Amino acid sequence: MLNRTKIIKELEPGLNAIFADEVDLYDKEHVVLFSTESSDRSFEEEVLWTGLGGAVVKAEGAPVSYDDGQESWVARYNHETIALAFAITEEAMEDNLYESSSKRLTKSLARAMAHTKQTKAANVFNNAFSSSYTGGDGKELLATDHPLINNNTAANEPTTAVDLSETALENAYIDIANFTDDRNIPTSYQPKSLHIPVQLVFVAERLLMTPGRVGTADNDISALYSRKTFGGGYHVNHRFTDTDAWFVRTDCPNGLKMFERVAMSTKMEGDFETGNMRYKARERYSFGWSNWRSLYGSPGA
């Protein structure tokens, strides 16, 4: 006799394969934005360590000077549980509609889970200029006044917002190269990659992929191109909402991160009361940043 238990055993492996194949079809745009780490806790905290200041001259016979490193602020990653399910009715199974319906719904479920992950990743950038979304130092990700332990402030965005251009990217390189740590020691960070909405793809292509300068009759080389200033190239994110905002990811370690608490999993079971077959996808993760020096950007003019 064909019962629902047997249908589950026959249907679930096929649905899992469809789900996995469908997830792989979608661009994982978050991979170039965040480094990924695993977590075995309900949340993760990372502490910014300020380190020591510069060494000082020791006079002959004089005691050595001491300095104290200290903790500055804490970045917290609160993992969210992301889940969605669908049900196949008992009547659909009776009418032999479960196979076509389940395959269609499985593909839609995979698409929905992928969309949510990419949206949450992009929203770290979409909210990067908003004071409603702050990090461990109490400031938004991109700001002109990140507080330092020496009571000074530092910026990872231009003082005046600018559109994406050759001059803007050259100034971004200079600003990033001038980053210091909280004890005013140069960090020597470098730009790694440019990240843009789809509306800026042709601007980025001309700026980074052309040997000559763009928009000028002079026979000058493009310094951005010849120096390979952005070795990681540029990347389009289809969920960036500001059409003229642009972002530069730097090589700062422990910067933009995704913590994976529980990897994507699926489960299928029958419901006794309704007779429905239920199929669920679930994962747990969080996106955020530990060090603002990992990003530079402008909301556009």
The DSSP bridge pattern shows strands 191-196 and 43-49 to be unpaired
The CB density around residue 188, as the number of other CB atoms within 10 Å, is 11
The full set of domain ranges for the chain reads: 4-20+29-43+79-298
Please report the beta strands in the chain, taking only residues with DSSP state E, as ranges in sequence order: 35-38, 43-49, 71-78, 80-88, 146-147, 153-154, 191-196, 234-236, 246-250, 256-270, 277-289, 295-298
With a CB cutoff of 8 Å and minimum separation 6, the contacts of 102 are 11, 15, 88, 277, 279
Beta bridge partners, 195, equal 235, 247
pTM of the model: 0.87
Residue range 46-95, pLDDT digits in tens: 888 787 778 888 888 888 888 877 777 899 999 999 999 988 887 777 77
Give me 137's structure tokens.
């130092």
pLDDT > 70: what percent of the chain? Answer: 94
| Cα-Cα end-to-end distance for the chain | 69
Query: Of 266, 267, 270, which Cα lies nearest the Cα of 3?
Result: 270
**Among 144-148, 182-186, 238-242, which stretch is predicted with the lowest mean pLDDT?**
182-186
The CATH code belonging to domain 4-20+29-43+79-298 is 3.90.1690
DSSP letters for 111-142: HHHHHHHHHHHHHHHHTTT-TTSB-TTSSBSS
With a CB cutoff of 8 Å and minimum separation 6, the contacts of 14 are 103
pLDDT > 90: what percent of the chain? Answer: 59
Give dist(CA 37, CA 256) in Å, integer. 11
With a CB cutoff of 8 Å and minimum separation 6, the contacts of 62 are none
Residue range 247-265, pLDDT digits in tens: 999 999 989 999 999 999 9
Q: What is the pLDDT of residue 237?
A: 97
Residue range 124-164, pLDDT digits in tens: 999 999 999 999 999 999 999 999 988 899 999 999 999 99
Give me 48's structure tokens.
């910014």
Phi, psi of 83 (to 5 degrees): -150, 155
Half-sphere exposure in the Cβ direction for 278 (13 Å, CA): 11
Average pLDDT of 218-222? 83
Give dist(CA 133, CA 267) in Å, integer. 34
Give me 215's structure tokens.
């928009």
Residue range 10-59, pLDDT digits in tens: 566 777 777 777 777 777 899 999 999 999 999 999 888 787 778 888 88
Whether the pLDDT of residue 6 is over 50: the answer is no
